[in-house]
């Protein structure tokens, strides 16, 4: 068995900065409310004239990650693409990415696990590499949220938290079994699927019915979130899955050099930090600048932490996420 190691990281966010004050001109909200409840100061939203989509942003992040890995696109054996905001209902973004990057006809897999998407994608890539099936895998998380948010007062508790962006990692085979991804831990609880969801478009309510109804008040295309319920489950599941990962590797919280939680809400990250007794240098947050970029959040944060030299050789890096599904997971890495 081999191990897999991250050898290249990259991210891309749209240039357009949307501050909390900008949002307060669109809906009944305030900088004070958003900062107090979420820690978010601003986010990036794709500009109206921009051609950025989830696949386009994913491709931009991927070019950087591949270049930094020292490989070329022809060395990549497989693509895994995580998003909840694909450019098309089908096919998925993975094949669009493959086309945009002009890669050879390697396989492309789409992951639909929302905020846990990158964790699931990384885990899948790790299994393919461990078994020896593939050597180098491109793992991408990308979201174009802003095109699908309800920016009226009715959607304010959801739309203020989400931002657009993409991140990518190149995972590669290593024969050093003490390094790279040590373990990954994945969970779901479909019982709560309806607590954080976008119901339309779906095969349950497909095009003929929608056209017949043509209801301008149909909100089923917008995200619905029972925020308080999701928050309570998030803090519980984050803690559980981090403990599970540490235990599996005979590690303790003090061994964590860098925890990168999915950037859902700064209050959630702070709760986890306190619970595990970690200091500020052991936890990386960038939700203040980007909001919640869902499948892209962990990989954007990982890239920034790495760019800022906050991750060093041999460090224990813990990635963890929780989100719609509910789905959650953790990945434990020795860098
Ligand atoms: N501006 C001003 N006031 C607002 C806003 C807003 N943007 N949104 C809601 N409010 C008001 C509400 O109307 C309510 O007013 P009321 O008390 O008069 O009725 C009050 O603020 C409190 O509303 P809540 O929805 O209870 O606010 P809460 O404190 O729960 O914060 C939040 C909302 C930030 C969304 C929080 O619940 C949260 O972060 N939840 C978890 C999110 C998460 O982790 N998601 C998972 C990942 S996302 C994914 O997987 C796609």
Q: Whose CA is nearest to atom 4 of ligand 1?
A: 157
Range 48-62 average pLDDT: 97
- Other CB atoms closer than 10 Å to residue 142's CB: what's the count? 39
Instruction: Report pLDDT for 215.
Output: 76
Instruction: Tell me how far the alpha carbon of residue 274 lies from the centroid of ligand 1, in angstroms.
Output: 22
Question: Do residues 187 and 143 both lie within one domain?
Answer: no
| Final residue in a domain of this structure, among 156, 177, 198 | 177
Range 46-67 average pLDDT: 97
C-alpha neighbours within 13 Å on the C-beta side of residue 92: 16
Question: Do residues 154 and 241 both lie within one domain?
Answer: no
Instruction: Tell me how far the alpha carbon of residue 294 lies from the centroid of ligand 1, in angstroms.
Output: 16
Question: Do residues 157 and 205 both lie within one domain?
Answer: no
| Final residue in a domain of this structure, among 125, 156, 177 | 177
SS3 for 253? helix
In the chain, the number of structural domains is: 2
Range 195-216 average pLDDT: 75
For residue 132 the two structure tokens come to 């020896």
Q: What is the Cα–Cα distance from 138 to 88, expressed in whole angstroms?
A: 21
Question: Do residues 172 and 204 both lie within one domain?
Answer: no
Question: Do residues 212 and 329 both lie within one domain?
Answer: yes
In angstroms, the Cα distances linking 28 to 103, 156, 159, 258 are: 46, 7, 12, 37
Question: Do residues 275 and 317 both lie within one domain?
Answer: yes
- For residue 295, give its domain range: 181-334
Q: What is the Cα–Cα distance from 275 to 270, expressed in whole angstroms?
A: 8
For residue 218 the two structure tokens come to 């149909």
**CATH number for 256:** 3.40.47.10
What residues form DSSP beta bridges with 181?
333
Q: Whose CA is nearest to atom 46 of ligand 1?
A: 323
SS (H, E, C) 43-110: EECCCCCCCCCHHHHHHHHHHHHHHHHCCCHHHCCEEEEECCCCCCCCCCHHHHHHHHCCCCCCEEEE
| Sequence-separated (6 or more) residues with CB below 8 Å from residue 228 | none
Taking 70 as the threshold, does the pLDDT of residue 109 lie above it? yes
| Strand-strand pairing, 316-323 and 327-334 | antiparallel
Range 194-211 average pLDDT: 77
Instruction: Report pLDDT for 201.
Output: 74
| Sequence-separated (6 or more) residues with CB below 8 Å from residue 264 | 115, 161, 234, 287, 292, 297, 322, 323
Pocket of ligand 1, beta carbon within 6 A:
29, 33, 37-38, 114-115, 156-157, 160-161, 196, 227-228, 230-231, 234, 264-265, 268, 292, 294, 323-324
Instruction: Report pLDDT for 304.
Output: 98
Range 43-58 average pLDDT: 97
Instruction: Tell me how far the alpha carbon of residue 320 lies from the centroid of ligand 1, in angstroms.
Output: 22
Beta strands, E only, 222-268: 224-225, 258-261
Whole-model pTM?
A: 0.95
Kindly state the percentage of the chain with pLDDT values over 70.
97
Q: Whose CA is nearest to atom 10 of ligand 1?
A: 157
Dihedral sign computed on CA atoms, order 81, 84, 86, 89? positive
Range 286-299 average pLDDT: 98
Instruction: Report pLDDT for 181.
Output: 98
- Indicate the pLDDT class of residue 219, thresholds 50, 70 and 90: confident
Query: In the chain, how many H helices and how many E strands?
Result: 11, 13
Taking 90 as the threshold, does the pLDDT of residue 27 lie above it? yes
Taking 90 as the threshold, does the pLDDT of residue 199 lie above it? no
pLDDT in tens, 243-256: 999 999 999 999 99
Question: Do residues 158 and 202 both lie within one domain?
Answer: no
| Final residue in a domain of this structure, among 119, 147, 177 | 177
Q: What is the Cα–Cα distance from 182 to 283, expressed in whole angstroms?
A: 19
**Residue with the two structure tokens 């693509």:** 79
Q: Is 163 left (phi over 0), alpha (psi -120 to 50) or beta?
A: beta
């Amino acid at each position: 068995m081999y191990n897999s190691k991250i050898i290249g990281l990259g991210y891309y966010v749209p240039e357009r900065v949307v501050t909390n004050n900008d949002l307060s001109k669109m809906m009944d909200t305030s900088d004070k409310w958003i900062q107090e409840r979420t820690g978010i100061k601003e986010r990036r939203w794709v500009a109206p004239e921009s051609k950025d989509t989830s696949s386009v942003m994913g491709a931009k992040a991927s070019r950087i990650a591949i270049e930094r890995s020292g490989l070329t696109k022809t060395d990549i054996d497989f693509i895994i693409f995580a998003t909840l905001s694909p450019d098309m209902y089908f096919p998925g973004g993975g094949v669009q990415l493959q086309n945009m990057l002009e890669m050879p006809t390697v396989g492309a897999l789409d992951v639909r696990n929302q905020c846990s998407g990158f964790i699931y994608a990384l885990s899948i890539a790790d299994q393919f590499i461990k078994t020896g099936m593939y050597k180098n895998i491109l793992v991408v998380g990308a979201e174009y949220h802003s095109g699908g948010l309800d920016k009226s007062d009715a959607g304010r508790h959801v739309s203020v938290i989400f931002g657009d962006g993409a991140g990518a990692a190149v995972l590669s085979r290593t024969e050093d079994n003490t390094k790279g991804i040590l373990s990954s831990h994945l969970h779901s609880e479909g019982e709560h699927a309806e607590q954080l969801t976008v119901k339309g478009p779906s095969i349950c309510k497909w095009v003929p019915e929608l056209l017949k109804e043509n209801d301008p008040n149909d909100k089923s295309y917008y995200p619905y979130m029972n925020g308080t319920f999701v928050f309570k489950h998030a803090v519980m599941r984050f803690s559980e899955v981090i403990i599970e990962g540490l235990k599996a590797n005979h590690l303790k919280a003090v061994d964590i050099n860098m925890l990168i939680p999915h950037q859902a809400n700064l209050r959630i990250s702070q709760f986890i930090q306190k619970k595990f007794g970690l200091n500020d240098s052991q936890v990386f947050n960038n939700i203040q600048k980007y909001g919640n970029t869902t499948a892209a959040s962990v990989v954007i944060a990982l890239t920034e932490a790495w760019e800022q030299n906050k991750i060093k050789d041999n460090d224990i890096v813990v990635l963890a996420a929780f989100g719609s599904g509910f789905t959650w997971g953790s990945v434990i890495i020795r860098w």
